[in-house]
Amino acid sequence: MTLNVNEIRKDFPILGRETAGGRRVIYLDSTATSQKPIQVIEAMNDYYRRSNANIHRGVHTLAEEATALYEGARERIAKFVNAASSREIIYTRNTTESINLVAYSWARANLKAGDLIVLTEMEHHSNLVPWHMLQMERGVELEFIPVTEDGLLDLEAYKTLLNRSPKLVSFAHMSNVLGTINPAAEIIKLAHAAGAVTLVDGAQSVPHLSVDMQALDADFYAFSAHKMCGPTGVGVLYGKTALLEAMPPFLGGGDMIKEVKLRSFRPNTLPHKFEAGTPAIAEAVGFGAAVDYLTQVGMADIAEHEHAITEYALERLEEIPGVKLFGPSADKKGGVAAFTLDGIHPHDVAQILDRDGIAVRAGHHCAQPLHEKFGIPATSRASFYLYSTKDEVDLLVKGLYKVKEMFG
C-alpha cells in the first residue's frame, strides 16, 4: 500500500504555514523533531479541557479519568513496541533521560572499576556522555565499535571486543547523522552470548520502523515521543521486568514509594518505582495519541514511503557538483541525508535555504566524534518522514543550486 501523503499532510497544521517571506514551510528536519498531527494536539487539549487532574492519588472523577488516560497511553505504547507488559514501559522525559536512568541505576549498582562498556563511533552524545561520567566516577573502561568509510559498523571488530567480556553493549539502532540502520538483533544476540547486558538508543528507529521488543530481545530500549509525531518532554525506557525490579530507584519523592517512614522507605512496584513526582500527564496522553496515529497509518507503509523518498533524495543530491554525501546507500539507511557542499559552511547552507522556507539542520548533530572520524566539523542534514514529498526534495535541490550560485 502506498501512503496518501497529500491526505496525511492535511493532518499537520504547521505544514500549511508560510514563513515571514511568504514561503511555504518545507520541513526537512524530522530527525531533530517531527511535526505533530491535529489528532495529537487535540488529544492534549481535550485532556486539559475535560480531565485535568493529578494521577494515581485521587478518587474523584477527574483524577480517575486522568489516571485512565495516562495508563491507557502506557498500555498502547507497550503494544506498539510489543513489550511483554506495560510494567516494562517507564515514562521519562526523553531518550537522554532514559539512557541516564540506566547509567545511574543499573550501571552504578552493577559495574565497577575495570568493567568494559562497548559503544560505537556513531553514537549521539546522549549515549556517550553518561558513560564518560561513569568512567570518571567508577573507572569503567569504554571501547568503541568502529564505523567503516561507507557508514556501517565493523562487526568483525565488534566480535573481537566481545572476547574481552564486556558488561554492557549500548548502541544506536539508527544513526541520526548517517541514517545507518544497524543490525540490532544480531548485535544483541552476540552481546548476550558474551554475557553482556544490552541498551539500545531507539530515538531514530521507533518513529520509522516496526520495532518489536520480543524479537529484538534488548534488555533496555530508549525512545522519545517528539520524534514520532508526539509532544516534547516525554519518552520511554523499556526494560525487562527482572532487570527493572532488581534496580534501585533513580529519583526519590512522591509516587515512587510504597511506604515512607522517618528513617526508611520502600519503593513502589513497577513501573511507578521509576516515576517520581507529578509526571508529564498531558504529554503522555499526546504520546498515546501519536502511537494511535502511527498505528492507523501503518509502520510498514511509513518505512516504505521514507525509503522511496530517501532513495530519490540521494539520487538528486548526487547530481549536484560539490556535494558529498555521508552514510550508506538507501537500502541500508533511514530517512536521513547528511552532506557537505564544497567550500561552503553547513550553517551558511542552512541559513540560505531558510530564506526559501526550507528547514534543514546544520552542525555536528550531537555527534562530534563521528564528524571527527570523517574529518569534518559539521554537515548539513535533510531528514524525511511520513509527510515528506519528492516535490520537497526537488525544492531542496533547487535551493542548493541557489546556494552554490551565491557563493560563486
Q: pLDDT tens for the chain, 408 residues: list them.
A: 579 999 999 999 999 999 878 889 999 999 999 999 999 999 999 999 999 999 998 899 999 999 999 999 999 999 999 999 999 999 999 999 999 999 999 999 999 999 999 999 999 999 999 999 999 999 999 999 999 999 999 999 999 999 999 999 999 999 999 999 999 999 999 999 999 999 999 999 999 999 999 999 999 999 999 999 999 999 999 999 999 999 999 999 999 999 999 999 999 999 999 999 999 999 999 999 999 999 999 999 999 999 999 999 999 999 999 999 999 999 999 999 999 999 999 999 999 999 999 999 999 999 999 999 999 999 999 999 999 999 999 999 999 999 999 997
Cell readout for 95 is 531518550
Q: Enumerate the active-site residues.
A: 366
Record: fold of 41-296:
Aspartate Aminotransferase; domain 2 (3.40.640)
Contact in structure between 85 and 241 (CB atoms under 8 Å): yes
Q: What is the CA radius of gyration of the chain?
A: 22
**Distance (Å, whole) CA 96 – CA 82:** 22
The span from the CA of 326 to the CA of 176, in Å, is 12
Domains in the chain: boundaries: 5-30+299-406, 41-296
Reference 176, options 128, 235, 212; nearest CA is 128
Alpha-carbon gap, residue 197 to 102, rounded angstroms: 11
pTM of the model: 0.97
CATH topology of domain 5-30+299-406: Aspartate Aminotransferase, domain 1 (3.90.1150)
